[in-house]
Structure 1
Amino acid sequence: MNQEFQRSLIKHDTTAILASRLDRDGYLFLPGLLPVAAVANVQRQVGDVIRAHGWLKRDAPVSDARADPAGFCVDPEPKYVDVLRKINLLEDYHALKHHPALIDLFTALLGGPVLPHPRVLGRNIWPDQPAFTTKAHQDYPNVQGTEEVYTAWIPLIDCPMDVGPLQVAEASHRRGVFDFDIAAGAGGIEIPDALAGLWRSGGFAQGDVLIFHSLLVHKGVANHSQHLRMSMDVRYQLLSEPFNLDNANADGQPLAWDDIYAGWTRPALQYYWQRLELNLKPFDRVWFDKRDALAFASAEAGDPRAMSVLQRIVARDPDPAKQARAQGLLDRLAGCG
């Protein structure tokens, strides 16, 4: 059984204590960091979008996030990404990453001006779909730039253990990039190291935030409730550190910022990173190339675990030949099902 998160309290712990704890453990669990009203506002707006597309029960309040099993879909399936694009049009959804409670926290912890990554990642996890519970992984191979990138995981609804919050492997960020294999579910990869004795977790309420280092191994808890686990990932780094410009692309591509910003009322939130002096570093595909090679080999052997990676290649890879090969293997695996 996992141990509970260590609680970190902004009003009680000094910046030095929090920074030392973050360096040691790789994470901070921060109850009540954000105002409940601010998070609930985003949840209502996102909930309205996803209920209109059949993800939530229509006979329950949006705030209850009661999942409709008939709407089940996963990233990067086209019907999932289509809804994700609509979520990304919401101004308040993007504005939450600029909340002073988050900016002030990271500025203090990192010791200088911070860059909130433009990309916001919405996570929606259906109940009773254990195959698609997020597997153990690290953010760095996907994010890059600098290792000193920190994710703020923000549940949009109350998230007790049965709803499926996150769990983290304490201090695993000190061990570099772990070896991985392919897997079904978010990201399409899984770290096979059990990391026994390191896992920490706990329930969340609206307003609670978990922040963690890009190399910290983390995974989902299975959702056994009746609720859609609604959450969002936003990322921060020192402005002076190397930045991978891919993180300035909106989630749910192809989706242009001009289209997202149509109808927005706050110019300060738009293209803010283009007004900053960024230290750019190109994306290194070494981990993606390894993942894709594993997926192709597994798919050729008839392993259905390859499907999540193959779907990502079809949806997002810049190489048309790889996309065509992945689609052919997906068709073959589907024919075997």
Structure 2
Amino acid sequence: MVPFTESNDIVQDGAALAARMRRDGYLFLRGLLPREDVAAVQRQVGEIVRAAGWLRNDRPVEQAVADPAGFCVDPEPAYLTTLRKINRLQDYHELKHHPALIGVFERMLGGPILPHPRVLMRNIFPAREEITTKAHQDFPNVQGTTEVYTAWIPLIDCPMEVGPLQVAAGTHDDGVYDFHIGAGAGGIEIKDGLEGRWASGAFAVGDVLIFHSMTVHKGVPNRSDRLRMSMDVRFQLVSEPFNPDNANPDGQPLSWEEVYADWRSDELKYYWKRLPLTLKAFDPQWFEKRDALAFELGEAGDPRARSVLQRIVARDADPTKRMRAQHLLDALPPLAPAGSVH
């Protein structure tokens, strides 16, 4: 693994940003967002997850010290209940509209920008390496256009032991990689190990990693005592096709009316409906392959099927598939207790 290439020296140069993205498939920008703006979101999210039992009560919420007894994982019901509360926070959603973020994309892409309405919150418990997000690409999950970019925004400082993100440079030019199933981020893990192509590094609050929808990326195991808290926000040109699934809030069943119920202002509500978007429906081919693999492993009693089976139960529209997945989940052995936090 090599250190990220930092791009602060070209942050105001749209042509240089675009050229580097074409070369590497990512941009690492230190201090792009004001630390206090991100910290304010972390405090609000932290209070919610502490009330859910995910953080220790005897430590400041800003430290995000995890309580292992609260362990849960997306898409378990306990996790989704808390996620829906997070998704009602106005400041959480407004961070994606920050001028510093929008400005980078406007300069790099050269046109009006659509921040995706759906924001993804990631809360990764420590000492649970089996749930570390595996190598994957965002495009099979996001779709619309390949020219979608994710901004990964840590809400706490993330030295390597807390488990930041790593990317495989240049993989955005290789098409959709073959995959099997894995934990996290849609339940997909690419088969190619991509040895020698990985880059990563420590993050401070305010740092942002931006990467192309086809860039392979994965988590670093969280070997700290902290709950690794981060946000995924997607951006694209307004003129590019948009998958309307990305206009739904995360943590469904949840409506925008519920999300907006306690907001202080109306300016950013339903902002995407005022834009001239071209819609492109979701292509299920990759999820159909994923689900077939999960059912095959589940029938064999293989615990690697767990994450995808949970996703089918929580999110699939087909009641027959949900019932089959639940039956297989019930037959799998339970997750092992967490290891020692170190």
Displacement of 1:28 in angstroms is: 0.2
Q: Secondary structure at the match of 1:216?
A: coil
Q: Secondary structure at the match of 2:38?
A: helix
Match of 2:340 in 1: none
Unaligned runs of 5+ in 1: none
The answer as to 2:105 corresponding to 1:137 is no
Distance in 1 (CA, whole Å) between partners of 2:257 and 2:110 is: 33
- Hey, which bits of structure 1, 4+ residues long, moved more than 6 A? none
Verify the 8 A CA contact 2:11 2:17 in the aligned structure 1.
Answer: no
Match of 1:151 in 2: 150
1:179-229 deviations in whole A, cap 9, x for unaligned? 000123442221120101100000000000000000000000011111110
Displacement of 1:18 in angstroms is: 1.5
* Aligned positions of 1:282-321 closer than 5 A: 282-321=281-320
* Aligned positions of 1:150-299 closer than 5 A: 150-299=149-298
Match of 1:111 in 2: 110
Displacement of 1:10 in angstroms is: 5.5
Distance in 2 (CA, whole Å) between partners of 1:298 and 1:128 is: 25
Given residue 27 of structure 2, which amino acid in structure 1 is its aligned partner? L
Displacement of 1:11 in angstroms is: 6.5
Q: Secondary structure at the match of 1:306?
A: helix
Q: RMSD in angstroms over aligned alpha carbons?
A: 1.3
1:73-104 deviations in whole A, cap 9, x for unaligned? 00000000000000001000000000000111
Distance in 2 (CA, whole Å) between partners of 1:336 and 1:29 is: 35
Distance in 2 (CA, whole Å) between partners of 1:96 and 1:284 is: 29
Q: Secondary structure at the match of 2:252?
A: coil
Given residue 165 of structure 1, which amino acid in structure 2 is its aligned partner? P
User: CA distance change for structure 1 residues 12 and 211 in 2, over 3 Å: closer, same or farther?
Assistant: closer
Larger deviation: 287-296 or 263-272? 263-272
Match of 1:123 in 2: 122
Given residue 154 of structure 1, which amino acid in structure 2 is its aligned partner? I
1:248-294 deviations in whole A, cap 9, x for unaligned? 00000000000110121221210111111110000000000000000
Q: Secondary structure at the match of 2:8?
A: coil
Q: Secondary structure at the match of 2:74?
A: coil
Verify the 8 A CA contact 1:132 1:186 in the aligned structure 2.
Answer: no
Given residue 79 of structure 2, which amino acid in structure 1 is its aligned partner? Y
Distance in 2 (CA, whole Å) between partners of 1:324 and 1:63 is: 40
Match of 2:7 in 1: 8
Given residue 73 of structure 2, which amino acid in structure 1 is its aligned partner? V
Verify the 8 A CA contact 1:75 1:186 in the aligned structure 2.
Answer: no
User: CA distance change for structure 1 residues 255 and 10 in 2, over 3 Å: closer, same or farther?
Assistant: farther
Q: Secondary structure at the match of 1:328?
A: helix
Distance in 1 (CA, whole Å) between partners of 2:77 and 2:322 is: 15
User: CA distance change for structure 1 residues 75 and 335 in 2, over 3 Å: closer, same or farther?
Assistant: closer
Q: How many residues are aligned here? A: 336
Match of 2:94 in 1: 95
Distance in 1 (CA, whole Å) between partners of 2:307 and 2:226 is: 23
The answer as to 2:60 corresponding to 1:61 is yes
Verify the 8 A CA contact 1:66 1:228 in the aligned structure 2.
Answer: yes
Instruction: Give the TM-score normalised by the residue count of structure 1.
Output: 0.97
Unaligned runs of 5+ in 2: 337-342
Distance in 2 (CA, whole Å) between partners of 1:140 and 1:166 is: 17
Distance in 2 (CA, whole Å) between partners of 1:302 and 1:61 is: 42
Match of 2:36 in 1: 37
Displacement of 1:334 in angstroms is: 4.1
The answer as to 2:327 corresponding to 1:328 is yes
Q: Secondary structure at the match of 2:176?
A: coil
Distance in 1 (CA, whole Å) between partners of 2:240 and 2:9 is: 25
Verify the 8 A CA contact 1:179 1:191 in the aligned structure 2.
Answer: yes
Distance in 1 (CA, whole Å) between partners of 2:280 and 2:246 is: 11
User: CA distance change for structure 1 residues 336 and 44 in 2, over 3 Å: closer, same or farther?
Assistant: closer
Verify the 8 A CA contact 2:14 2:110 in the aligned structure 1.
Answer: no
1:139-177 deviations in whole A, cap 9, x for unaligned? 000000000000000000000101000000000010000
Verify the 8 A CA contact 1:115 1:237 in the aligned structure 2.
Answer: yes
Displacement of 1:316 in angstroms is: 0.4
